[in-house]
């Protein structure tokens, strides 16, 4: 559908609605299936699976940019779609849940029942705040780089650099989280992401600082993706993991929806400072939310949580 789009509203329908529904139908079941197979190494396993999207985030921006120049936008999108289709065929055949399906009727109110639990609610607050800022560097760093004088040919590689670093950020912190505690690791990586935004992204004006920031932020923010589902599973009955993870990401989707417009409104005559401050503050707020959730589980400083 996207390859045939000629009007803005058509892109909204194709990418904003149809593609989003498809991706959500793929992401949640695949993540939840992995969760049911692992316990001690759950975050590490999710990190390996989530690392596939980081690898795609390296390959696809470079591939599509070159294809658009060579064969045009329409065929660039079609080639990407055929590539994704071929990988989905294998992925769907390989997907299996450890637990047999047990469908049961749920009322609308029951979907919100997990929010009555303090730890889950605080985890959701932390996730919402972190997601409110997580995509701002990803969405605006190329625009900022070109505004500050970086060549467009080099700026095109900032997102692949960020995603390449997030590949390691999704796997390594997941492994560490299984060893020392997933909440503990999430708090540190979210804190790291917020500090990097405030300490490095704000003063970054040249090409080298922006490249360094992209790599460091990719690593820090990547950990969030692999650790969060494992954290939800840690505080949930295995039979309710799908519902609870889905509820968590549904809440976070609201943050993702409003994040970009807020960021755009904060850009003032080519100055990104207000956007960057907002981003750093909400990322740190996410770390605080996770910290409060962690304390609700165990107040011990060195406890594995």
- pLDDT, one tens digit per residue, over 2-38 is 888 888 888 888 888 888 888 888 888 888 888 888 8
pLDDT for the residue 239: 82
pLDDT at 162: 96
Domain boundaries, the chain: 2-97+108-297
For 54-108, write each residue's pLDDT tens digit: 999 999 999 998 999 999 988 999 999 999 999 888 888 888 777 777 777 777 7
Query: How far is the CA of 204 from the CAs of 135, 193, 209, 269, in angstroms?
Result: 18, 15, 5, 17
Token pair listed for 278: 């907002």
C-alpha 170/C-alpha 47 separation (Å) is 5
* Residue 170 contacts residue 54 (beta carbons within 8 Å): yes
Q: What distance lies between CA 263 and its chain's CA centroid?
A: 17
DSSP label of 303 = -
Q: Determine the number of helices (DSSP H) and then strands (DSSP E) in the chain.
A: 12, 0
Average pLDDT, the chain: 91
pTM: 0.92
State whether residue 271 is helix, strand or coil. strand
Q: What is the CB-side half-sphere exposure of residue 163 using CA atoms within 13 A?
A: 20
- CA angle, 252 then 256 then 110, to 5°: 25
Give the residue carrying structure tokens 């949580």. Answer: 305
What class does CATH assign to 2-97+108-297? mainly alpha
pLDDT, one tens digit per residue, over 208-266 is 999 999 999 999 999 998 899 999 999 998 888 888 998 999 999 999 999 999 999 99
Show the tokens assigned to 75.
Answer: 């065929």
Give the DSSP per-residue string, 61-115. HHHHHHHHHHH-HHHHHHHHHHHHHHHHHHHHHH---SSPP------HHHHTGGG
Residue 13: DSSP 8-state: I
């Amino acid at each position: 559908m996207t390859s045939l789009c000629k009007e803005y509203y058509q892109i909204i329908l194709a990418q904003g609605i149809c593609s989003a529904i498809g991706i959500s139908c793929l992401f949640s079941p695949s993540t939840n299936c992995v969760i049911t197979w692992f316990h001690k190494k759950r975050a590490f396993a999710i990190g390996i699976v989530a690392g596939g999207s980081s690898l795609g985030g390296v390959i696809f921006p470079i591939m599509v940019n070159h294809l658009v120049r060579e064969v045009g936008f329409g065929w660039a999108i079609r080639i990407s779609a055929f590539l994704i289709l071929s990988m989905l065929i294998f992925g769907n055949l390989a997907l299996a849940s450890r637990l047999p399906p047990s469908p049961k009727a749920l009322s609308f109110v029951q979907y919100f029942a997990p929010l009555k639990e303090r730890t889950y609610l605080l985890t959701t607050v932390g996730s919402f705040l972190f997601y409110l800022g997580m995509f701002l560097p990803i969405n605006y760093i190329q625009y900022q780089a070109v505004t500050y004088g970086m060549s467009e040919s080099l700026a095109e590689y900032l997102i692949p650099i960020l995603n390449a670093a997030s590949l390691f950020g999704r796997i390594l912190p997941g492994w560490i989280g299984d060893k020392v505690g997933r909440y503990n690791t999430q708090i540190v990586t979210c804190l790291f992401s917020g500090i990097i935004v405030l300490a490095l992204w704000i003063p970054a004006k040249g090409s080298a600082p922006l490249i360094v920031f992209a790599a460091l932020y990719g690593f820090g923010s990547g950990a969030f993706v692999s650790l969060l589902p494992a954290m939800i599973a840690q505080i949930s009955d295995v039979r309710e993991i799908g519902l609870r993870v889905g509820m968590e990401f549904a809440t976070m989707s609201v943050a993702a929806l409003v994040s970009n417009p807020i960021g755009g409104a904060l850009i003032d005559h080519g100055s990104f400072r207000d956007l960057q401050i907002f981003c750093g503050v909400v990322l740190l707020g996410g770390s605080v939310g996770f910290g409060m959730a962690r304390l609700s589980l165990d107040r011990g400083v060195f406890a594995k949580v």
